[in-house]
Chain A
Amino acid sequence: MDSYYSLSFWVVFIPLTALLYQLFPRRLRPLVLLGASYFFFWSISGKLIVYVLFSAYSIHHFGLWLTNLQTECNQLTFDLPKDKRKAIRSEYSKRKKRVLGAGVFLHIGMLFVLKYSAFFLGDLNSLFDFLKLSVNVPIPHFILPIGISFYTMQAVAYMIDVYRGVVVADRNLLRLSLYLTFFSGIIEGPICRYQETAEQLWSGRPITYHSLTFGLQRVLFGVFKKVVIADRLNLLIKTVFDNYSFYDGEIIIVAVIAYTIQLYMEFSGTMDVAIGVAEIFNIKMPENFARPFLALNIAEFWQRWHITLGAWFKDYIFYPLSMAGPIKKINIRFRKYFGYYYGPLLGGSVALLAVWLANGLWHGVGWRYIFFGLYHFALIFCGNLIKPLSLKLTDKLHINRQNLPFRLLQITKVAILVGFGELFFRARSLKTGLKMAYKMFTATSANAFFNNGIYKLGMDRRDFYIIAAALLIVAIIHLMQEKKIDVRKFIAQRPLLIRWSLYYALIMFIVIFGAYGQGYLPIDPMYANF
């Protein structure tokens, strides 16, 4: 069992877990989920499970520590006059900050050492080499436990929320462990907050006909995106990205478009599966995608793509930095010189830059990921800079920004900009990405489309037809969702014959047109490595 798409997950793990969950009395059901989660983690990462066990234990400890300090502070200041109360509160606030700092440092430090130390020490050695210094720092190689970036963020979110008083520290270590390791979110998220899932997971609500069928429908849609679209596109993407020097710019453009679609279908598909599996157990996880390719600008794109990650960065990096003293001072000063729009924009850009550097690094180890983060920072920053100008211009030209053609133009613009960024995400290195980008701009013609060159990249004409048909299905469902139509409810209200026919049709579409078996190389969960 190595992913949500493995046979053993669906033939053994889920049926067995669901059966035990349903058979056990309600109060013991959370323990079934916890046992299953630990088994799932162990089956993928083996003894590295100690990391997640340690994480659960430590956030439990830090949470209680923070709460105890708060309680102590409250008791001490209960009967005191205002001036004395302030001094004690200030003292306790400092102590709480130190405790929180230690907890966050421990978790981020562990993530940094395991995930980034090899990258940074490698670059340090390169620097020593460049400076002709005979120093060579030994580079450690650690094996990462599955989902470390995801559960670390959940752990940090929990500690900060306890510190801020958003949640009360949980005294139940097992509940906290389940929140951190629930098998349905451990591989690729969504990144849940304690208040979103912990109680639900612990409530042991029974599996119902509704939760089972709706959950499975969601899973089916996710499998469709991953197996029919993402895995089939892999044939072309792998061919081109592995041998980019053989191909002209137009082929690289096709591969970049294919990769952008693949990344979305794989990640959002896996989210559908993860959220669908949770739904089977009557647990509602937060949504991670909201039709990002219908966004009208890059900032909106990131509000629709990997929503839980964006919200995490916003709540735990952007806001604290924006509210920090030095930034506030910069904002006030800039406001004087640049006015009420550009002043805070320029001041806030420091916090924004930190967010996007962190975003780039979170996605992976390497300069191309840092470039990816900075690229999106530049797009959002520039977008904000030219926004007043753009509004004035459309106003002067009497262009209605709500018009469909104008919106389509904006959607296309976003898709192109995002796609270009994904090139660096997929390329082997920043240098390779730049070379491929250079080819896109300097060696592009329409030859491949006239001499059928695009059909010689691992995908033939029929593969393209299947991709087109599958994308059309996804687009229809997305447009219905955008119009606030609950597709599953819509189907559930149809007569049984139509309903079942639709289900069978979708299953058979996946079975027949799925890219699995001989000749296909399914892609690994892309975000699992982040």
Chain B
Amino acid sequence: MIEKIKTGSKILVFIALLAAILHYSAFLFVSDTYIKGQGKTDVFANAILSEKDNDIEVLFMGDSEAYSAFSPLAMYERKGFTSYVLATSAQPLYYTQSLLERTLKNQKPKVLVLETNLIYRNIVASDSIAHKIGDIFPIFELHDRWKSVTLNADSSYSSGKDKTIKGYYFSKAIDGVKDLSKYMAPTNELRPIESINRSILDQIIRICHDNDMKVVFVSTPSTVNWNMKKHNGIVDYVKDKDITYIDMNLLTLEEPIDWQRDTRDEGDHLNYYGAMKVSRYIADYLNDHFELNDRRNDKAYYHWQDALQKYNDMIGNELKKGVKG
């Protein structure tokens, strides 16, 4: 019996030590200031952690559809409210939840705008568990940083903040849609939301309500990713909830999407020209329907003016270079 207890204790000590090594080893790769200041992975999205506390009024979340369509600085220039796109490529909903929870520690946004494409992304239960483990042991997320480790870990990523344009992804590439015949073809059929996705979505909505945030679902224009079945599925989901749903694929916009000019990859994602149309529409909508502050002449928000100046300079320079397909 004593032998068994000894063996059991040995195993437990081994596991405990391993857990400690895994947990603390992350700091070998990046210092604490780096994690707080620049985000871990997905630098553009995570750079919200380096924004001033309680600075952001509107959060945009979603996958590549979101960061291709929403430009916070264009919206700021138009209506003066501050916002941030917390979007990552192929973002699964559990990551949305985790990013939101992390962000709400420092920010008190009034509105969450959720791009709906990620609601239909397949989630494998084990991926969700892996993500939770990744939160406890950041090394699993950070491990690939070994390539960039220098004696001064911060310096190798210090440019992350400067590069970001509040989470928006700029692309001026144009690659028009070849066939629009099936785009939003009418149907009464409905694509149901998977139960695991629905459950996480419910939790996200609850978090928003607990934090006095309004929720807006937006389906940004995409001929590849969006269709009527998905639209009907979202309509069905929001019908009994305090959620506004805007499907820009069905709206008759003042500035309609030109599918030959406003997409960078045959209708999958919008480019800069498409993003500006969406950003202008959404900025007007949010400004009209929610009590958002105009910070354009607020001295406490000078850093936003500064960011806008840099953003406009960057856009101007890029557009001057000409359009590449």
Chain A residues engaging chain B, CB cutoff 8 angstroms: 1, 6-8, 11, 209, 460, 462, 500, 503-504, 507-508, 511-514, 516-519
In the bound complex, do residue A511 and residue B22 qualify as a contact, i.e. CB atoms below 8 Å apart?
yes
Task: Chain A residues near B203: list those with CB within 8 A.
Answer: none
Question: Does residue B130 face the partner (Cβ distance < 8 Å to A)?
Answer: yes
Complex: A518 Cα to B127 Cα, angstroms: 13
Task: Chain A residues near B127: list those with CB within 8 A.
Answer: 7
A512-B146 contact in complex given A500-B14, A507-B18, C-beta closer than 8 Å: yes
Task: Chain B residues near A508: list those with CB within 8 A.
Answer: 21, 25
In the bound complex, do residue A513 and residue B146 qualify as a contact, i.e. CB atoms below 8 Å apart?
yes
In the bound complex, do residue A7 and residue B143 qualify as a contact, i.e. CB atoms below 8 Å apart?
no
Task: Chain B residues near A517: list those with CB within 8 A.
Answer: 140-141, 143-144
Question: Does residue B319 face the partner (Cβ distance < 8 Å to A)?
Answer: no
Complex: A8 Cα to B18 Cα, angstroms: 20
CB distance from A519 to the nearest CB of B (A): 7
CB distance from B221 to the nearest CB of A (A): 27
1/0 contact string of B102-120 vs chain A (CB within 8 Å): 0000000000000000000
Complex: A24 Cα to B22 Cα, angstroms: 33
CB distance from A226 to the nearest CB of B (A): 16
**6 extra interchain contacts, Cβ-Cβ under 8 A, other than A7-B126, A11-B129?**
A8-B125, A462-B146, A462-B147, A508-B25, A511-B143, A512-B143
CB distance from A489 to the nearest CB of B (A): 18
Task: Chain A residues near B21: list those with CB within 8 A.
Answer: 504, 508
Question: Does residue B312 face the partner (Cβ distance < 8 Å to A)?
Answer: no
CB distance from A361 to the nearest CB of B (A): 34
In the bound complex, do residue A7 and residue B130 qualify as a contact, i.e. CB atoms below 8 Å apart?
yes
Option from A500, A504, A519 in Cβ contact (under 8 Å) with B144: A519
- Closest Cβ neighbor of A515 among chain B residues: B144
- Closest Cβ neighbor of B89 among chain A residues: A518
Task: Chain B residues near A503: list those with CB within 8 A.
Answer: 14
Complex: A508 Cα to B133 Cα, angstroms: 16
Question: Does residue B17 face the partner (Cβ distance < 8 Å to A)?
Answer: yes
1/0 contact string of B12-36 vs chain A (CB within 8 Å): 0010011001100100000000000
Task: Chain B residues near A513: list those with CB within 8 A.
Answer: 143, 146
List, sorted by A's number, 28 A–B pairs whose CB atoms are closer than 8 Å.
A7-B126, A7-B127, A7-B133, A8-B125, A8-B126, A8-B129, A11-B129, A11-B133, A209-B7, A460-B147, A462-B146, A503-B14, A504-B18, A507-B18, A508-B25, A511-B22, A511-B139, A511-B140, A511-B143, A512-B25, A512-B139, A512-B143, A512-B146, A513-B143, A516-B143, A517-B141, A517-B144, A518-B41
CB distance from A65 to the nearest CB of B (A): 43
- Closest Cβ neighbor of A503 among chain B residues: B14
Task: Chain B residues near A518: list those with CB within 8 A.
Answer: 41, 144
Task: Chain B residues near A507: list those with CB within 8 A.
Answer: 18
CB distance from A234 to the nearest CB of B (A): 15
A504-B146 contact in complex given A6-B126, A518-B41, C-beta closer than 8 Å: no
- Closest Cβ neighbor of B90 among chain A residues: A518
The total of chain B residues at the interface (CB under 8 A) is 22
Count chain B CB atoms within 10 A of each CB in A11, A504, A512 and give the residue with the most.
Answer: A512
Task: Chain A residues near B140: list those with CB within 8 A.
Answer: 511, 517
CB distance from B115 to the nearest CB of A (A): 20
CB distance from A512 to the nearest CB of B (A): 5
Task: Chain A residues near B17: list those with CB within 8 A.
Answer: 500, 504
Closest 7 CB pairs of A and B: A8-B126, A7-B126, A512-B143, A7-B130, A209-B7, A462-B147, A512-B146
Task: Chain B residues near A7: list those with CB within 8 A.
Answer: 126-127, 129-130, 133
CB distance from B141 to the nearest CB of A (A): 7
Task: Chain A residues near B139: list those with CB within 8 A.
Answer: 511-512
Complex: A435 Cα to B131 Cα, angstroms: 43
Complex: A504 Cα to B22 Cα, angstroms: 10
CB distance from A515 to the nearest CB of B (A): 9
Task: Chain A residues near B22: list those with CB within 8 A.
Answer: 511
CB distance from B30 to the nearest CB of A (A): 13
Scan residues 123-177 of chain B and give those whose CB is less than 8 A from a CB of chain A.
125-127, 129-130, 133, 139-141, 143-144, 146-147
Scan residues 217-273 of chain B and give those whose CB is less than 8 A from a CB of chain A.
none
- Closest Cβ neighbor of A8 among chain B residues: B126
Task: Chain A residues near B133: list those with CB within 8 A.
Answer: 7, 11
Task: Chain B residues near A462: list those with CB within 8 A.
Answer: 146-147
Task: Chain B residues near A516: list those with CB within 8 A.
Answer: 143
CB distance from B287 to the nearest CB of A (A): 36
Count chain A CB atoms within 10 A of each CB in B22, B126, B139 and give the residue with the most.
Answer: B126
Task: Chain B residues near A512: list those with CB within 8 A.
Answer: 25, 139, 143, 146
Complex: A514 Cα to B11 Cα, angstroms: 25
- Closest Cβ neighbor of A208 among chain B residues: B7
Task: Chain B residues near A511: list those with CB within 8 A.
Answer: 22, 25, 139-140, 143
Complex: A500 Cα to B10 Cα, angstroms: 11
CB distance from A425 to the nearest CB of B (A): 29
In the bound complex, do residue A1 and residue B146 qualify as a contact, i.e. CB atoms below 8 Å apart?
no
- Closest Cβ neighbor of A504 among chain B residues: B21
In the bound complex, do residue A514 and residue B147 qualify as a contact, i.e. CB atoms below 8 Å apart?
no
- Closest Cβ neighbor of A11 among chain B residues: B129
Task: Chain B residues near A460: list those with CB within 8 A.
Answer: 147
Task: Chain A residues near B144: list those with CB within 8 A.
Answer: 517-519
In the bound complex, do residue A1 and residue B126 qualify as a contact, i.e. CB atoms below 8 Å apart?
yes
Task: Chain A residues near B25: list those with CB within 8 A.
Answer: 508, 511-512
CB distance from B254 to the nearest CB of A (A): 39
- Closest Cβ neighbor of B125 among chain A residues: A8
In the bound complex, do residue A514 and residue B14 qualify as a contact, i.e. CB atoms below 8 Å apart?
no
Task: Chain B residues near A1: list those with CB within 8 A.
Answer: 126
Task: Chain A residues near B125: list those with CB within 8 A.
Answer: 8
Complex: A13 Cα to B18 Cα, angstroms: 21
- Closest Cβ neighbor of A510 among chain B residues: B143
Complex: A507 Cα to B17 Cα, angstroms: 12
- Closest Cβ neighbor of A1 among chain B residues: B126
Count chain A CB atoms within 10 A of each CB in B25, B125, B144 and give the residue with the most.
Answer: B144
Complex: A514 Cα to B22 Cα, angstroms: 14
- Closest Cβ neighbor of B137 among chain A residues: A511
Task: Chain A residues near B7: list those with CB within 8 A.
Answer: 209
Task: Chain A residues near B18: list those with CB within 8 A.
Answer: 504, 507
CB distance from B262 to the nearest CB of A (A): 29
Scan residues 34-69 of chain B and give those whose CB is less than 8 A from a CB of chain A.
41
Task: Chain B residues near A11: list those with CB within 8 A.
Answer: 126, 129, 133
Complex: A507 Cα to B14 Cα, angstroms: 12
Complex: A191 Cα to B146 Cα, angstroms: 39
Complex: A512 Cα to B146 Cα, angstroms: 7
Scan residues 257-306 of chain B and give those whose CB is less than 8 A from a CB of chain A.
none
Count chain B CB atoms within 10 A of each CB in A1, A511, A514, A516 and give the residue with the most.
Answer: A511
Option from A6, A8, A500, A514 in Cβ contact (under 8 Å) with B143: A514
CB distance from B229 to the nearest CB of A (A): 25
Complex: A6 Cα to B128 Cα, angstroms: 12
Complex: A517 Cα to B42 Cα, angstroms: 12
CB distance from A3 to the nearest CB of B (A): 11
- Closest Cβ neighbor of A9 among chain B residues: B126
CB distance from B255 to the nearest CB of A (A): 35
CB distance from B317 to the nearest CB of A (A): 27
Complex: A264 Cα to B22 Cα, angstroms: 29
Task: Chain A residues near B129: list those with CB within 8 A.
Answer: 7-8, 11
CB distance from B124 to the nearest CB of A (A): 9
Complex: A6 Cα to B130 Cα, angstroms: 10
Count chain B CB atoms within 10 A of each CB in A1, A8, A507 and give the residue with the most.
Answer: A8
CB distance from B148 to the nearest CB of A (A): 9
Complex: A513 Cα to B143 Cα, angstroms: 7
Task: Chain B residues near A500: list those with CB within 8 A.
Answer: 14, 17
